[in-house]
């Protein structure tokens, strides 16, 4: 991150978590990047308050995939499931594009399994034609239940959770 980030008078702290799950060319925190470049990467420019510089933020579709790429344990999967439940207005074209550019098999499978679990209407319109979902089964939690389509284990008691 740029050195000036540490000098910001904020109580919040920033943590760089690696290069992320996408194969996009790095932006180097360029707030002045052209709008179309940002849009093509699932990013948007936000102006939080008058007088402050704009910041770059992920659209909900990208943010959810980024969260799915995080170190996963049962507690995080429950949180992701609760978040995905509210993701009723995701844009299928943007989801399709981000899935194609996502390098993390785990993130893609978890994202899709959770969307499938909540039967989101937009999922029917997501193109998986060029999306690499890898091969074989993936275990996220010990003793979990295998999702039949996306071959990824989710906590065994998720079906008992409110949908």
What's residue 120's pLDDT? 97
CA distance 43 to 54: 12
162, pLDDT greater than 50: no
Residue 136's pLDDT band (boundaries 50, 70, 90)?
very high
Confidence of residue 82 (pLDDT cuts 50, 70, 90): very high
Spatial distance between the Cα atoms of 113 and 124, rounded to a whole number of angstroms: 13
- Label the pairing between strands 55-58 and 145-146: unpaired
Hey, what are 73's tokens? 């344990």
Q: Each residue of 10-58: pLDDT tens digit?
A: 888 776 666 678 888 776 656 677 888 888 999 888 877 777 778 888 9
């Amino acid at each position: 991150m740029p050195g000036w980030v540490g000098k910001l008078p904020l109580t919040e702290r920033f943590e760089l978590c690696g290069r992320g799950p996408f194969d996009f060319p790095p932006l180097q925190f360029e707030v002045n990047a052209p709008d179309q470049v940002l849009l093509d990467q699932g990013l948007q420019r936000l102006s939080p308050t008058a007088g402050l510089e704009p910041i770059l933020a992920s659209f909900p579709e990208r943010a959810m995939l980024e969260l799915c790429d995080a170190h996963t344990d049962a507690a995080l999967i429950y949180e992701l499931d609760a978040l995905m439940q509210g993701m009723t207005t995701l844009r299928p074209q943007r989801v399709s594009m981000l899935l194609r550019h996502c390098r993390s098999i785990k993130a893609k499978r978890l994202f899709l399994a959770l969307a499938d679990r909540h039967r989101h209407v937009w999922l029917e319109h997501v193109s998986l034609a060029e999306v690499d979902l890898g091969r074989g089964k993936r275990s996220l939690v010990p003793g979990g239940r295998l999702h039949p389509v996306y071959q990824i284990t989710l906590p065994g008691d998720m079906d008992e959770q409110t949908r």
